[in-house]
Amino acid sequence: MKSQYRVVVIGGGVVGASVLYHLAKLGWTDVVMLERRRLASGSSWHAAGGIHALNGDPNMAALQAYTIDLLSKIEEESGQNIGLHMTGGLSLAGTPDRWEWLQSNYRIFQSIGIEDCELLTPEEAQKRCPIMSTDGILGAMWADREGYIDTTGTVQAYATAARKRGAEYYENTKVESLTQTADGWIVKTDKGDITCEHVVNAAGLWAKQVGRMAGIELPVSPLKHHYLVTDTVPEVAAADFEMPMTVDLEGFTYMRQDQKGVLVGIYEVDHEHWAMDGAPWNYGEELFQEQMDRIENELTLGFARYPAIENVGIKTWVNGAFTFSPDGNPLVGPVPGKRGYWSACAVMAGFLQGGGVGKTLAEWMIEGEPEADAWSMDVARYGAYAENRQYIRETTGQFYSRRFVMTYPNEQLPAGRPLKMAPAHDAMTAAGARWGVSWDLETPLYFAPEGFVEAPTLRRTNAHDIVAAECKTVREGVGLLDITGFSRFEVTGPNAESWLNRIMATKLPAPGRARLAVMLSESGRLKGDLTLLNWGPDASGTPRYWIMGSYYLRAWHMRWFNDHMAEGVTIQDLGEDMCGFALVGPDSRKVIEKTTEDAVGALPFMGCMRADIGLTRAHVARMSVTGEMGFEMNCRMGDHVALRRTLLAAGEEFGIREVGFNALLSLRLEKSFGIWNAEFTQDRTPGMTGMDRWIAWDKGDFIGREAALAERDGSGPAQQIVTLEIDAGDADASGYEPVWQAGKKVGFVTSGGYGHSLGKSFALAMVDAAAGAPGTDLSVHVVGVERAAKVVPPSPYDPDGKAMRG
């Protein structure tokens, strides 16, 4: 073992071995993996080893698909038998909603390129898995690329393939501490010190401790998980094919063949945490005693689903720990504020997702960004709030217990909430606010009468008419929207303008003006759709700008800003200090003019100024994403309650009404306004998304300029965002549904919903350029049913933008 490497990977499980392999595959061979005991110790050795395609998050499903395709290649490259059994797999639906969900996901899989699936009747499913009962089953989805592997052999295969490419790994080498230096890190081990540029925390059950070595609190916790292996099952032994991997979604179990018996795993509703501060250092290949009282209900359902196992013995019980994040997805990427420290943790389905995690992290480290959009597993999707122990306990437990529970698109889950609330939260609650959550913040979805309860559904909800009324208010009168849920960064300093010109692809606004701002990566792909506001110089003549964007991207954007920071620039996240309200609608000017003696009503579209609104000193901007006239007022947290009272009192004669973000999402679709993580993602370009119209091509150099120019001056993007009008029934497209033209897949929906003002169902979609002309007839699957659709010109409502500029 050398005393210096470029990268040290801590942890010799499947994730660490995959990271090591992918780093070497991409050309970095001066890399080493350190394992405190032996490869696959911890969680990897006792994992059930199942591989399956289904995941409710399309990005994670694509990650899993990559891993599944990689496994046979790793086996061949390493020469190590991984015990790959590609049996195919079934996902069973036992309720009408679940069956609709499976049908919808079958189409979503088509959108992301997974073509080896099919829908089956209960009878067809039983032919493929004859040991199961079809009682209560309404249908199933089959996937060819499902099965199981030998877990220890697979870890060894990744590590061996990495070593063949020039990487190193060492067992029985414990990392004892980490020290950050100006150039990287010192990794102290029980075999000596190692200096390196990058450290990767792939420590699994010990991720918490390895994070704390660097002063980091990762939001992870281990939970216990049961599975059993039966003795020989006569029906299995007599079959001339292997039983497929089978997931009983309503029964909380998964099943696969194991020799001549079966393995049945359980996601217990009655979850149990273990070692929340990380596993003991001497823990390795131990298991816990099975806890029959905790799994009784799920076990009963499992034996009922597979009657063939009722009269055979149980050969082995496994009750072991796996590490989970609050939403169950991995925590991957560069940790904000710790240059050279990378997370590859909380990969609870390591053998299913580990290949994709390794690829993502290696690309990120070597090339500066991953090929695919990594937001679903980016460590920066959480902030300091997620370090709270109770938050971790509630959210990881909620995810575990709901692993196979149906979650509806409109369903609000309670764990870890409410955490942060705007000062006027209680007053808005009294006024009927129903709340969602963005990052750590409660945000109003809509305002409902007392006693109203929204029913979970895959279709339009019973809140449909409430949201329609709020949309009508905004289109015809004036609505009041809490905008605490926008991010705000203040940029100051003598070099603020030169830095902003470098980091933004957009021309900077003049003092007293705002401008939509595009931010690109070095490869010319999107890093932000933001709003840049120039408040004018301060008393010393120093420029003072704000960057506003999506609240839940605060840590993600701040990491990017800090990674590209320059001398003479100061940037501050104002998210804990500032909040505000927006007046939206044709009467918004009349309302605001009643509250101030300043010339706020005379602000031009995209103008901004500091003004007194009643007794509140506010930063006011004339803009709105609703397509109507709007004024956004930003104030200190302590002024939030007073500002709300002032605006409601001033708007009373105009019938002012508080509105929520559900109305905003409907209104923006009618304007063809895209949003981040739907139309705008970090694997798309300005040309694909229409964001190129905001780029200042002549302003000089900026990050991503060369790549953006190449796109502009080339043959153009192969796909583009268009607006679709859909002949929908009682459900609307929401995202990732396939778009078809005469039976050929030509794209997918990025977001959708009902346009209450126009009384039509709309969607924004990424389609092949040849299918994007207005008037083109297409079709879209909505909740599994094919619906006619047509490309319409952008901004179906007020295409000339007269309302918001008036």
How far lies 353's CA from each of 55, 265, 419, 548, in Å?
11, 18, 30, 34
Q: Averaged over 636-662, what is the pLDDT?
A: 98
What pLDDT shows up at residue 114?
A: 87
Give residue for tokens 């992301």.
112
Residues of 563-582 as b/e, b for ≥16 C-beta within 10 angstroms? eeeeeebebebbbeebbbbb
| Same CATH fold assignment for domains 4-324 and 578-655 | no
Res 332 pLDDT > 90: yes
Identify whether the C-beta of residue 45 lies closer than 8 Å to the C-beta of residue 285. yes
pLDDT in tens, 667-714: 999 999 999 999 999 999 999 999 999 999 999 999 999 999 999 999
Phi-psi region of 133 (alpha: psi -120 to 50; beta: other; left: phi over 0): beta
pLDDT in tens, 387-435: 999 999 999 999 999 999 999 999 999 999 999 999 999 999 999 999 9
What pLDDT shows up at residue 113?
A: 86
Q: Over the Cα atoms of the chain, what is R_g? A: 27
Residue 193 is encoded by which pair of tokens? 């010190």
Q: Averaged over 31-42, what is the pLDDT?
A: 95
* Best CA proximity match to 748, nearest among 765, 724, 761, 727: 765
Res 58 pLDDT > 90: no
Give residue 24's identity as a one-letter amino acid code: A
The domain spans of the chain are 4-324, 578-655
Res 196 pLDDT > 80: yes
Phi-psi region of 742 (alpha: psi -120 to 50; beta: other; left: phi over 0): left
Q: What percentage of the chain carries pLDDT values higher than 90? A: 95
pLDDT in tens, 103-138: 999 999 999 888 899 999 999 999 999 999 999 999
- Predicted model pTM: 0.96
pLDDT in tens, 744-794: 999 999 999 999 999 999 999 999 999 999 999 999 999 999 999 999 999
What pLDDT shows up at residue 690?
A: 97
Counting every residue, how long is the chain? 806
> Would you call the peptide bond into 418 cis, given omega within 30 degrees of 0 as the criterion?
yes
Rounded-to-integer distance, Cα 377 and Cα 344, Å: 9
Q: What percentage of the chain carries pLDDT values higher than 70? A: 100
Residue 385 is encoded by which pair of tokens? 């709030």
pLDDT in tens, 281-302: 999 788 999 999 999 999 999 9
pLDDT in tens, 62-98: 889 899 999 999 999 999 999 999 999 999 999 999 9
**Mean pLDDT across the chain, nearest whole number?**
96
Is the CATH number of domain 4-324 3.30.9.10? Answer: yes
* Best CA proximity match to 502, nearest among 701, 705, 710, 706: 701
DSSP of 12-79: -SHHHHHHHHHHHHTT--SEEEE-SSSTTTTTGGG---EE----SSHHHHHHHHHHHHHHHHHHHHH-
The CATH code belonging to domain 578-655 is: 3.30.1360.120
Read off the pLDDT band of 26 (50, 70, 90). very high
Would you say the C-alpha torsion 633, 636, 637, 641 has a positive or negative sign?
A: negative
